Amino acid sequence: MSGLGVPSPDICCDTHGMNVLHKTPDLADAVLATLADIPFPSVEAERPSALLRRCPAAAKTPLSDAPDLAKAAGVGEVHIKDERERMGLGSFKALGAAYVIARDAEEGNATGRTYVTASAGNHGLSVAAGAQAFGARAVVYLADTVPEGFADRLRSFGAEVVRHGAIYEEAMAGAAQAAKDNEWALLSDSSWPGYLDRPYTLMEGYLVLMQEAVAQMPAPPTHIFLQAGVGGLATACAAYSRVAWGAGPRIIVVEPEAAPALYESIKAGSAQVTEGPESAMGRLDCKEPSLIALKGLARDANDFILITEEEGTTGSAACAEAGYPTTPSGAAGVAGLLSARHTGDGLGLSDNSRVLVILSEQAA
């Protein structure tokens, strides 16, 4: 694909106490060299869009102007792509796993199939809803830290819930073993060597929200702040942004300090398994990146920043005050923008900046 290259700042540093990594060509090349067998993310947004147009629950989510947040951030405009009501499931994840199952159904391969996954939140709901819609079965592995109220919501969509392990990674290992033992279809939103096809398709589903945002924006953004766990949302949005807007927008990936998987991988020049305490930004509390996401972001993103737990809470509070209640995970892009005020001109923000952020989930 042409037009996807993006100029990068030539420094890598921590700025004014905030962890900021400016991607350099050398850092990007080092990562890309280790991922030669990994595909770049899809940019074929029309494929999931066409499928979703046949779904009665599908509707575009709004893009809203947020002048109060713009004032707080010291920028000209902030535009929020609001995913809190996506298909009645409460987050952008409705576009992912359910789309994979819908694609299987188109090929006659969903009815009667068992899909198994692990989830820290909304991905499991997408698997459960997709399985219910297409006559399949969903088994969702949850770590002990996931609230029982969420388990009950999964069950309301007909999913079987299995408790396994203390953290998400242990639940994922349990799901992967169950898939192997029972010949079930593993449906993860991450990717690793030997497991690429389903997450590639899943991330393709996320392109829909960015296709909508491109059509809804009054003008191209100067900056895009994208929150990341394993990186699926961020890489889909970044890849489509480059197709639509070229190298113009500065794309900043935001992660919790407690889970710096993409930041540390770009910094090291290869995929890293990180360690850290549990984060209150639970949907982003992922210690290892999706390899497809890492490859895409090594190409398409400009900067990687880490936010503290306090900054995450400040972001969600600011969103609530502006009339957009969400969780610290859902507001992490906003939190990154607000925290970037303390980086001086390190991210090129000014009172003329037009910023796009994604509100990725509804309040708990």
| Structural domain total, the chain | 2
* Lookup: tokens for 73: 């951030």
**Domain membership flag for residue 194:** no
pLDDT on residue 5: 42
pLDDT on residue 344: 64
**Could you tell me if 76 and 218 lie in one domain?**
yes
**Could you tell me if 167 and 112 lie in one domain?**
yes
**Could you tell me if 174 and 305 lie in one domain?**
no
Are 125 and 153 spatial neighbours (Cβ–Cβ below 8 Å)? yes
pLDDT on residue 2: 34
**Domain membership flag for residue 8:** no
HEC string of the chain?
CCCCCCCCCCCCEEECCEEEEECCHHHHHHHHHHCCCCCCCCCCCHHHHHHHCCCCCCCCCCEEECHHHHHHHCCCEEEEEECCCHHHCCEHHHHCHHHHHHHHHHCCCCCCCEEEEECCCHHHHHHHHHHHHCCCEEEEEECCCCCHHHHHHHHHCCCEEEECCCCHHHHHHHHHHHHHHHCCEECCCCCECCECHHHHHHHHHHHHHHHHHHHHCCCCCCEEEEECCCCHHHHHHHHHHHHHHCCCCEEEEEEECCCCHHHHHHHHCCCCCCCCCCCCCHHHCCCCCCHHHHHHHHHHCCEEEEECHHHHHHHHHHHHHCCCCCCCCCCHHHHHHHHHHHHCCCCCCCCCCEEEEEECECCC
Q: Going residue by residue through the chain, which has 364 residues, state the pLDDT in tens, using 9 for 90 and above.
A: 333 444 444 445 555 567 999 999 999 999 999 999 999 999 999 999 998 888 777 789 999 999 999 999 999 999 999 999 998 888 998 899 999 999 999 999 999 999 999 997 789 999 999 999 999 999 999 998 888 988 999 999 999 999 999 888 899 999 999 999 999 999 999 999 999 999 999 999 999 999 999 999 999 999 999 999 999 999 999 999 999 999 999 999 999 999 999 999 999 999 999 998 989 998 898 899 999 999 999 999 999 999 999 999 999 999 999 999 999 999 999 999 999 977 766 799 999 999 999 999 999 7
Last residue of a domain, one of 139, 161, 188: 188
**Could you tell me if 166 and 107 lie in one domain?**
yes
The amino acid at residue 57 is A
CA angle 267, 192, 162 (to 5 degrees): 115
pLDDT on residue 247: 97
What is the CB neighbour count within 10 angstroms for residue 199? 27
Indicate the pTM of the whole model: 0.93
Are 151 and 142 spatial neighbours (Cβ–Cβ below 8 Å)? yes
* Lookup: tokens for 5: 């290259």
**Could you tell me if 70 and 109 lie in one domain?**
no
What residues are paired with 254 via a beta bridge? 227, 305
pLDDT on residue 52: 85
In this structure, what CATH number is given to the domain that contains residue 156? 3.40.50.1100
What is the CB neighbour count within 10 angstroms for residue 25? 11
Last residue of a domain, one of 188, 211, 241: 188
**Domain membership flag for residue 142:** yes
Q: How far apart are the first and last CA of the chain?
A: 40
Angle in degrees, 0-180, between the axes of helices 261-268 and 291-300, rounded to the nearest 10: 70
Round to whole Å and give the CA distance between 140 and 146.
Answer: 12
Range of the domain at 121: 97-188
Last residue of a domain, one of 188, 214, 235: 188
**Could you tell me if 128 and 218 lie in one domain?**
no
